[in-house]
């Protein structure tokens, strides 16, 4: 599909540089800023195309395999080799590395890093400062100065962003986003090369989750439609047990599926650890690098151990402190607020007042979550998490706490207050329908509206300048893409991208249907239906509405799986409480016999929850065997050579080379 | 310490071969069986010493480094190299491999395997069958036939067993077993080279467990001695919470300590996986080797995956079936028996009858556990566990179920029947004192009695033959050692060694004091006291009473840690139940407020139990950093060479060699 890496094929432009439109042309071609930029790009090895847009000018960049290979070697990218070991990339030994499923050498994530390295690596290597001219202004490009950063600070280069590959995008649109009749089937192996592992994993997760939901949807609907009469009180616990077993097994089998997917894609474990989600040009703000500590460890074993232990426990304490701050502020600030709303909503009788209250509430929680997100991001900056993915996970936990409180506390309040299934059911239906519809509406329409507004404003600007309106087709795709919004999280762009919102929606839905499963069994059918739509709308969103997202190397769901498992745990407790209420008609709360049975059931389910992962390992046997095979191969292949190198040291190694 | 590997030093004899005493001497020296054996041993490279004993003759074997190195290369032993990677051992590149803490190249476990390989590898390589003469009998040693196996079948070679190293043994006796005043301190780093990782880990575990117990012992004694009056009902739940926190933290911190210990000892992970506990000359009875399956996987990916999945699930089903059989038979056969005993014991009033009943009971459970162990061993043979350590773990789980029922069901019965703390306390004291004293007595005296009897019978035999009785000192140490019992499990020698009994004792004690912590807090002091003694008696047992045990490569506690964790989980539930009884004075079992508080406490503790391992990882940061450093070193050292080998394939590799 992606044939840009073969020099002979048509170049696929994967990066765009936006340059401010100038009002006057330079006379001197050689010192013209844009020309210099294009010349430098060509010098680096890019295939360059200049596009004159309506509001801005654009330079499209494509990198042939040679250029990428050079960048990868400079970046010391670790890549999976055929013997299963990760080694530093070298251009001459390209055959030793495992190819991507689509036949290319580099994955999109690796290409992205190479592009960034090349684009932001252009510096003035000549012996004198150069003078660049732009729109009459003169810019001095000093020796050793970074060109793009200079131009960005001068506001000449407006943005550097990854471009969609039109051919692949259209194909994906056809085979993925518009295939409504495929239900939960998706071409995951085509999504991975185009969007990177993290997004592909999200869609695989969503697909599997929806597929598994069908079982419970059928069971839940049966419970709703068939009248069990006297059996009603027996059927509900059975449903509860089935739901919990389902959730536990789902989490474990997802881990297995994830392992199988990663075995198919040659993801290097080292890339995953080091180069997570990094926006180009932004500086990393980690406190203290563990690499320095490793040096200490090397120098003095005992002292190094102590330093390491201090470092480890300090990091743990910081994380603990931050978590404590978040939990404390959620309980002390958010909880009263939510309870006040829930209470007022219950007390007020007038519908108009209720509507007004809800409007005020909805308006204020927008700000609360935003502030919470900001606080979390600030706190996380002081943690020394090992890599960006870990940091993102830490953020996810903190922010999810906020949303958890926001979403469920009202329901808990009503459930506790009324102790009445029909009221609870009404609230659940309200929430499910409202939230799903509202979320989808906001999620899909807001970016489109933003895009439309930008488009309109560009046209408007042109019209004001008195140019003819009939050539107002956006001639270039790159300009259209530039106007599209970026795929970013609603709580702040710093550490997470748009996947945060998508996963959040899934997790909140999962919690809602699971924690109150006994109160409203048909919720599973709602959720399944919603998720089938979600798959295609999310695909459309990514392919049509947004800029191509920055790829992330992580190959797992990350913190979200833990959240799913935590929600499963919670739902064991909440459902038991619900059942206890249901059977406790007189309000006497006697142990015998109902409560006893429920307590035993709870303990058995908890045992299952924690025992099941021991029975079924999270990695299929064939994946493990595959890895073992690779290791043995590596060892057999080069055991002797390695040994000679280790024991003989440098001298003999050099002798071998020259001899 | 162990200097046998340096050819110039005095040879340390580490293996003994026992040969039946003959009544007549051969005339022909060259075809004499013992002489041929000694000649063959010398040919292999052993340092040989012949010892004439009273009842048998002995050949002591010592292997210089060269001999061991050759055997290791033949066995393709994987050893840790200086770059942290495990590679096949080669004698020429011995400098590349990490030395043991005591300066020797091979660990005791590796030496053991080499010895076995060498001793059982002697075959007739000449072109004709040889005739050996022994005690007038003629034995034909066919071409290619294994000498030792042949002689074993002819009952000429009675046993091949590892010998104690007198010098090290005496040193350990001085610095370890007889140092009563050291309390829980032990020279673990000296135990590891002499006994191997598994036994060293047992003593490290026992030491840490005892050290940690001191905290609870002090708390428990305070609770017993100080009269809290009205606060009594508050102090007990506090004690319970502290105990559970203690247990959870102990398990996690043990994992960290274990990781730290393994980082200190150069244990190769591959040795650990492949060559577990294997008695020489015994055949492995595994069903189907996964190595064949790997070949299928290589040939056809999709089909191979299916085959692997079938293999994996079949194995899981077999294990599940076996576990189900064991659990079913425990519940259906053992439970009624135990309950009957407990009930009868409660009903009978006469003390004499009680005593008689207990005697019958103790006699019969001996058989029951033996039968249970045999059944478990038989069942496990049909499981396709990956290696012998996994199989041993599977056995441990099954047999522990048996002992769990046996030990605790009586206590549960009494607790449920009487619902009375003082009765429960009385039973606990009885059990604790009795079991500890009894166990220790049996454990330590039985092997000694066996040894004495054997010694006596040897002397008796001699005396019958009319030889003079005044030279009846056992002149040779090797004969004395031969008469010592082997370090084997009481349930059967097939899969486990004596560590099984030691760990079992610890686990049962842990369960007893933890599960009924609220009923009898001073139990912790009893346990601590007992364990301090246990450390030294176990050390003495190993050093004085038993033959040197067969070393096991596994570097963890294995299944026992899971059992400890399971007991912690159980104890959360049982203690909650105990507290509920305690507070439920009227027998009404109302939810408000006592039961509610207890239930909340239980859930919080369960959350802590499962959350804590997420907070504190089971591997210290410095161990992980150390490993990461090694990996980076390996990759930097040989990245280029490796790449050339992989991409160039075989041809270029050969060229490099010849050029």
B7-27 per-position pLDDT tens digit: 445 678 889 999 888 776 666
Q: Report the pLDDT value the prediction gives residue B276, as an integer from 0 to 100.
A: 36
**Helix orientation angle between B499-515 and B523-540, rounded to the nearest 10 degrees:** 170
How confident is residue A246, by pLDDT bands cut at 50, 70 and 90?
A: very high
How confident is residue A201, by pLDDT bands cut at 50, 70 and 90?
A: very high
- pLDDT tens across B49-82, in order? 888 887 788 889 998 888 888 888 888 887 877 7
Average pLDDT over residues B563-575: 91
**Chain B residue with the nearest C-alpha to that of A584:** B591
- The whole-angstrom separation of Cα A241 and Cα B473 is 72
Q: Which three-class secondary structure state does DSSP give residue A74?
A: helix
Above pLDDT 70, what percent of chain B?
Answer: 82
| Alpha helices (H) in B553-620, listed in sequence order | 559-583, 596-615
Q: Which sequence spans correspond to the domains of chain A?
A: 15-163, 181-286+385-464+472-619, 287-384, 622-658
Average pLDDT over residues A422-438: 78
Q: Residue B595: list chain A partners with CB under 8 A.
A: 591
Cross-strand bridge partners of residue A15: A61, A162
Distances in Å between the alpha carbon of B143 and those of A502, B32, B71, B138, B146? 73, 18, 22, 16, 9
Among the partner residues B298, B592, B646, nearest to A81 by beta-carbon distance? B646
- Residue with the larger pLDDT of the pair B127 and A299: B127
Distances in Å between the alpha carbon of A451 and those of A90, A430, B609? 42, 31, 50
Q: Residue A642: list chain B partners with CB under 8 A.
A: 81, 83, 85, 87, 96, 634, 637-638, 641-642
Q: Which two tokens stand for residue A556?
A: 């797992």
Q: Report the pLDDT value the prediction gives residue B566, as an integer from 0 to 100.
A: 92
Given a cut of 70, whether residue A328 has pLDDT beyond it is: yes
Residue in B266, B271, B572, B642 to test binding to A, most A beta-carbons within 10 Å? B642
Distances in Å between the alpha carbon of A407 and those of A404, A413, A509? 5, 11, 10
Given a cut of 60, whether residue A368 has pLDDT beyond it is: yes
**Chain A residue with the nearest C-alpha to that of B587:** A591
Q: Which of A247-256, A317-326, A625-634 has the highest mean pLDDT?
A: A247-256
Among the partner residues B87, B590, B606, nearest to A606 by beta-carbon distance? B606
- Residue with the larger pLDDT of the pair A21 and B16: B16
Shortest Cα–Cα distance, A418 to chain B (Å)? 19
- Residue with the larger pLDDT of the pair B44 and B638: B44
**Chain B residue with the nearest C-alpha to that of A572:** B603
Above pLDDT 90, what percent of chain A?
Answer: 10
- Residue with the larger pLDDT of the pair B509 and A497: B509
How confident is residue A346, by pLDDT bands cut at 50, 70 and 90?
A: confident
How confident is residue A637, by pLDDT bands cut at 50, 70 and 90?
A: low
Average pLDDT over residues A525-542: 89
- pLDDT tens across B429-461, in order? 877 777 777 777 777 777 778 778 877 787 777
**Chain B residue with the nearest C-alpha to that of A289:** B625
Burial class (CB in 10 A: 0-12, 13-18, 19+), A336: exposed
Residue A565 near residue A204, CB atoms below 8 Å? no
Q: Which three-class secondary structure state does DSSP give residue A50?
A: strand
Given a cut of 70, whether residue A594 has pLDDT beyond it is: no
Q: Which of B339-348, B464-473, B620-629 has the highest mean pLDDT?
A: B339-348
Q: Report the pLDDT value the prediction gives residue B293, as an integer from 0 to 100.
A: 60
Q: How many CB pairs under 8 A join A and B?
A: 164
**Does the beta-carbon distance from A635 to B88 stay under 8 Å?**
yes
Shortest Cα–Cα distance, A440 to chain B (Å)? 34
Residue A82 near residue B646, CB atoms below 8 Å? yes
Q: Report the pLDDT value the prediction gives residue A277, as an integer from 0 to 100.
A: 34
Averaged pLDDT score across all residues of chain A: 79
Instruction: Give the DSSP H or E segment for B157.
Output: strand B157-162
**Does the beta-carbon distance from A610 to B615 stay under 8 Å?**
no
Residue A160 near residue A478, CB atoms below 8 Å? no
Residue B474, C-beta contacts closer than 8 angstroms, at least 6 positions apart? B53, B54, B455, B480
- pLDDT tens across B537-549, in order? 889 888 888 888 8
Shortest Cα–Cα distance, B592 to chain A (Å)? 8
**Chain A residue with the nearest C-alpha to that of B76:** A636
Lowest mean pLDDT among A274-278, B23-27, B639-643: A274-278
**Does the beta-carbon distance from A87 to B639 stay under 8 Å?**
yes
* Residue B162 Ramachandran class (φ > 0 left, ψ -120 to 50 alpha, else beta): beta
- The whole-angstrom separation of Cα B160 and Cα B162 is 7
Q: Which two tokens stand for residue A21?
A: 């439109």
How confident is residue B651, by pLDDT bands cut at 50, 70 and 90?
A: very low
- The whole-angstrom separation of Cα A30 and Cα A26 is 9
Q: Residue B588: list chain A partners with CB under 8 A.
A: 590
Within 13 A of A23's CA, how many CA atoms are on the CB side?
A: 3
Q: Report the pLDDT value the prediction gives residue A507, as an integer from 0 to 100.
A: 92
> Whose CA is closest to B251, among B641, B616, B528, B633?
B616
Averaged pLDDT score across all residues of chain B: 79
Distances in Å between the alpha carbon of A411 and those of A189, A440, A503, B376? 40, 21, 21, 51
Residue B75, C-beta contacts closer than 8 angstroms, at least 6 positions apart? B113, B114, B117
Given a cut of 50, whether residue B272 has pLDDT beyond it is: no
Q: Report the pLDDT value the prediction gives residue B637, as an integer from 0 to 100.
A: 64
DSSP character for A230?
G
- Residue with the larger pLDDT of the pair A81 and A586: A81
Shortest Cα–Cα distance, A197 to chain B (Å)? 22
Average pLDDT over residues A306-335: 86
Given a cut of 50, whether residue B658 has pLDDT beyond it is: no
How confident is residue A270, by pLDDT bands cut at 50, 70 and 90?
A: very low
Whether the bond between A84 and the residue before it is cis, its omega within 30 degrees of 0, is: no
- Residue with the larger pLDDT of the pair B609 and A289: B609
How confident is residue B590, by pLDDT bands cut at 50, 70 and 90?
A: low
Lowest mean pLDDT among A367-381, B28-42, B264-278, B406-420: B264-278
Q: Report the pLDDT value the prediction gives residue A211, as an integer from 0 to 100.
A: 94
Q: Report the pLDDT value the prediction gives residue B281, as an integer from 0 to 100.
A: 38
Q: Which two tokens stand for residue B548?
A: 């040197």
Q: Report the pLDDT value the prediction gives residue B638, as an integer from 0 to 100.
A: 63
Count of other CB atoms within 10 angstroms of residue A284: 9
Average pLDDT over residues A379-407: 81
Given a cut of 80, whether residue A591 has pLDDT beyond it is: no
Q: Report the pLDDT value the prediction gives residue A657, as an integer from 0 to 100.
A: 40
Q: Residue A96: list chain B partners with CB under 8 A.
A: 642-644, 646-647
Q: Strands B15-20, B157-162: parallel, antiparallel or unpaired by DSSP?
A: antiparallel
Q: How far is CA A140 from the centre of its chain?
A: 40
**Chain A residue with the nearest C-alpha to that of B647:** A96
> Whose CA is closest to A81, among B642, B653, B81?
B642
In the numeric block, the tokens 């060509």 are attached to: A42
Given a cut of 50, whether residue A436 has pLDDT beyond it is: yes
Q: Report the pLDDT value the prediction gives residue A293, as an integer from 0 to 100.
A: 61
- The whole-angstrom separation of Cα A396 and Cα A277 is 14
Average pLDDT over residues B360-388: 80
The ipTM value here is 0.79
| Alpha helices (H) in B300-350, listed in sequence order | 301-329, 335-347
Average pLDDT over residues A469-488: 72
Lowest mean pLDDT among A249-263, A363-377, A420-434, B519-533: A420-434
Q: Report the pLDDT value the prediction gives residue A617, as an integer from 0 to 100.
A: 83
Residue A80 near residue A105, CB atoms below 8 Å? no
Shortest Cα–Cα distance, A391 to chain B (Å)? 15
Lowest mean pLDDT among A1-15, A128-142, B341-355: A1-15
Q: Residue A73: list chain B partners with CB under 8 A.
A: none
Given a cut of 60, whether residue A377 has pLDDT beyond it is: yes
Shortest Cα–Cα distance, A312 to chain B (Å)? 6
Q: Which two tokens stand for residue A1?
A: 């599909």
- Residue with the larger pLDDT of the pair A169 and A6: A169
Average pLDDT over residues A269-285: 40
Given a cut of 80, whether residue A540 has pLDDT beyond it is: yes
Q: Residue B316: list chain A partners with CB under 8 A.
A: 615-616
Distances in Å between the alpha carbon of A617 and those of A249, B288, B385? 11, 20, 14
**Chain B residue with the nearest C-alpha to that of A256:** B309
Residue A370 near residue A491, CB atoms below 8 Å? yes
Residue A600, C-beta contacts closer than 8 angstroms, at least 6 positions apart? none
**What does B167-215 look like in DSSP terms, one character per residue?**
HHHHHHIIIIIT-GGGTT---HHHHHHHH-HHHHHHHHHHHHHHHHHHH
Q: Report the pLDDT value the prediction gives residue A403, as an integer from 0 to 100.
A: 87
- Residue with the larger pLDDT of the pair B221 and B416: B221
């Amino acid at each position: 599909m992606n044939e840009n890496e073969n020099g002979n094929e048509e170049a696929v432009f994967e990066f765009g540089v936006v340059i401010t439109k100038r009002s006057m042309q330079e006379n001197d071609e050689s010192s013209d800023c844009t020309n210099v930029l294009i010349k430098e790009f060509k010098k680096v090895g890019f295939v360059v195309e200049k596009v004159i847009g309506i509001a801005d000018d654009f330079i499209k960049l494509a990198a042939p395999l040679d250029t990428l290979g050079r960048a990868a070697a400079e970046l010391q990218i670790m890549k999976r080799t055929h013997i299963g070991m990760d080694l530093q990339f070298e251009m001459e030994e390209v055959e030793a590395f495992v190819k991507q499923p689509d036949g290319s050498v580099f994955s999109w994530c690796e290409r992205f890093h190479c592009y960034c390295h090349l684009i932001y690596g252009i510096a003035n290597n000549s012996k004198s400062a150069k003078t660049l001219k732009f729109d009459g202004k003169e810019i001095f490009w000093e020796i050793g100065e970074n060109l793009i950063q200079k131009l960005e600070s001068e506001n000449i280069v407006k943005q550097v962003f990854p471009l969609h590959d039109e051919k692949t995008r259209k194909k994906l649109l056809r085979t993925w986003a518009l295939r409504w009749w495929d239900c939960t089937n998706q071409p995951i192996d085509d999504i991975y090369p185009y969007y990177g592992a993290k997004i592909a994993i999200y869609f695989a997760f969503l697909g599997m989750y929806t597929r598994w939901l069908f079982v419970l949807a059928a069971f839940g609907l049966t419970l709703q439609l068939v009248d069990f009469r006297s059996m009603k009180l027996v059927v509900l616990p059975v449903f509860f047990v089935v739901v919990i077993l389902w959730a536990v097994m789902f989490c474990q089998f997802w881990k297995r599926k994830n392992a199988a997917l990663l075995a198919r894609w040659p993801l290097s474990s080292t890339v995953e650890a080091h180069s997570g989600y990094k926006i180009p040009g932004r500086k990393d703000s980690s406190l203290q690098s563990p690499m320095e500590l490793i040096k200490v460890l090397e120098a003095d074993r005992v002292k190094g151990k102590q330093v390491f232990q201090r470092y480890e426990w300090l990091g743990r304490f910081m994380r603990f402190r931050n978590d404590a701050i978040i939990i404390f502020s959620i309980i002390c600030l958010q909880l009263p607020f939510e309870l006040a709303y829930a209470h007022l909503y219950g007390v007020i009788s007038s519908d108009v007042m209720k509507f007004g209250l809800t409007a005020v509430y909805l308006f204020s929680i927008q700000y609360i979550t935003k502030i919470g997100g900001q606080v979390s991001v600030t706190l996380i900056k002081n943690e020394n998490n090992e890599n960006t993915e870990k940091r993102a996970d830490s953020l996810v936990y903190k922010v999810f706490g906020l949303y958890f409180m926001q979403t469920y506390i009202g329901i808990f309040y009503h459930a506790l207050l009324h102790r009445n299934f029909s009221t609870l059911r009404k609230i659940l239906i309200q929430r499910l329908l409202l939230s799903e519809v509202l979320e989808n509406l906001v999620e899909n329409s807001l970016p489109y509206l933003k895009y439309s507004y930008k488009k309109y404003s560009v046209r408007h600007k042109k019209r004001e300048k008195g140019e003819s309106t009939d050539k107002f087709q956006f001639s270039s795709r790159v300009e259209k893409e530039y106007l599209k919004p970026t795929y970013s999280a609603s709580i702040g762009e710093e550490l997470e991208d748009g996947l945060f919102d998508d996963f959040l929606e899934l997790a909140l839905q999962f919690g809602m249907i699971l924690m109150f499963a006994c109160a409203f069994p048909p919720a599973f059918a709602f959720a399944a239906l919603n998720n089938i739509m979600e798959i295609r709308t999310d695909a459309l969103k990514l392919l049509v509405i947004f800029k191509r997202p920055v790829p992330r190397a992580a190959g797992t769901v990350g913190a979200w799986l833990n959240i799913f498992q935590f929600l499963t745990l919670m739902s064991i407790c909440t459902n038991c409480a619900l059942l206890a209420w249901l059977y406790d008609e007189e309000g006497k709360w006697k142990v015998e016999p109902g409560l006893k049975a429920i307590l035993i059931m709870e303990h058995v389910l908890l045992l299952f929850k924690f025992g099941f992962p021991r029975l079924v390992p999270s990695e299929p046997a064939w994946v493990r065997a595959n890895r073992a095979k690779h290791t043995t191969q590596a060892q057999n292949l080069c055991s002797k050579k390695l040994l000679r190198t280790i024991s003989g040291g440098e001298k003999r190694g050099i002798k071998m080379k020259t001899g």
